[in-house]
């Protein structure tokens, strides 16, 4: 870091593996010849995700993973952003390892932190839209932190209704309104609350 402190980090790379491939000794990211993929649109979504996590995650006690630097690498021809490394992994990792989730643990270390994260996001008119155990990491205090804002939607100040065309829930944790093709919905926290509830139930 700029202060000389050494710490483990994660680099998230813009590399849509279904539409890109690697070339050369420097593993340059190159778009496939035949694809319907719009690189500029998808790269903007990647930068938007990083900027949301930078803004919300760097708020004290946010329980949202903070993004650090966002940068382009000419050598690999793609974008990256920096995040902290969480040694405990995700809630999904802990479940798969057989962790005993007592009621007290879930309320103190999952429900309260995630409600704080969602309250902060919704105040900023951001919906996460993909809450599930694999998108919830665990910090060094054992508290849940929300990550992966890749399908998040930022709402403007004027309208409470936005077209969500192209945003569909693909996980078992997505609310029913997320499965409606081309739906126009009124802004509100319902999809995220459904995802959180389904995660807690799971």
At 10-47, the pLDDT tens digits run 999 999 888 898 998 888 988 888 888 888 888 888 99
> What is the predicted pLDDT for the residue at 41?
85
Q: Which of 45, 11, 21, 20 lies closest to 152 in space, CA to CA?
A: 45
Q: Is the pLDDT of residue 72 over 90?
A: yes
Q: Give me the chain's average pLDDT, please.
A: 86
DSSP annotation of 124 = T
Q: Is the pLDDT of residue 136 over 80?
A: yes
Average pLDDT over residues 144-170: 69
Q: If you average pLDDT over residues 61-81, what whole number do you get?
A: 94
Name the active-site residue from 130, 139, 157, 192.
130
Between 119 and 35, the more confident residue is 119
> What percent of the chain stands above pLDDT 70?
85
Residue matched to tokens 């799971």: 202
DSSP 23-84: ETTTTEEEE-SS----HHHHHHHHHHHHHHHHHHHTSTT--BPPP--EEEETTTTEEEEEEE
Cα separation, 3 vs 118, whole angstroms: 31
* Greater model confidence, 182 or 31: 31
Rounded Cα distance between 146 and 54, Å, is: 13
What value does the mean pLDDT take over residues 114-129?
Answer: 93
pLDDT at 163: 46
Taking residues 78-95, what's their average pLDDT? 95
pLDDT at 174 over 50: yes
The pLDDT value recorded for residue 161 is 42
CA dihedral 95, 172, 147, 127 (to 10 degrees): -150
The yes-or-no answer on residue 172 being catalytic is: no
Whether 58 has a pLDDT exceeding 90, the answer reads yes
To 5 degrees, how large is the angle CA 43–CA 48–CA 51? 130
């Amino acid at each position: 870091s700029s202060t000389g402190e050494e710490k483990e980090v994660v680099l998230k790379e813009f590399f849509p593996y279904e539409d890109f491939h690697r070339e050369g000794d420097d593993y340059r990211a190159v778009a496939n010849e035949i694809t319907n993929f719009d690189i500029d649109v998808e790269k903007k979504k990647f930068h938007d995700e990083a900027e949301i996590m930078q803004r919300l995650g760097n708020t004290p006690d946010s329980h949202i993973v903070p993004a650090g630097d966002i940068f382009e690498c000419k050598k690999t021809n793609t974008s990256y952003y920096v995040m902290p490394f969480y040694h405990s992994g995700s809630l999904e990792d802990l479940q798969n390892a057989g962790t005993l989730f007592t009621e007290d643990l879930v309320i103190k270390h999952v429900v309260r932190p995630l409600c704080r994260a969602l309250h902060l996001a919704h105040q900023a008119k951001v919906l996460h839209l993909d809450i599930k155990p694999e998108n919830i990491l665990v910090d060094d205090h054992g508290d849940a932190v929300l990550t992966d804002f890749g399908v998040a939607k930022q709402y403007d100040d004027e309208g409470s209704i936005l077209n969500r065309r192209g945003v569909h829930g693909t996980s078992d944790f997505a609310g029913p309104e997320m499965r409606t093709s081309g739906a126009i919905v009124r802004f509100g926290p319902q999809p995220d609350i459904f995802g959180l509830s389904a995660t807690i139930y799971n």
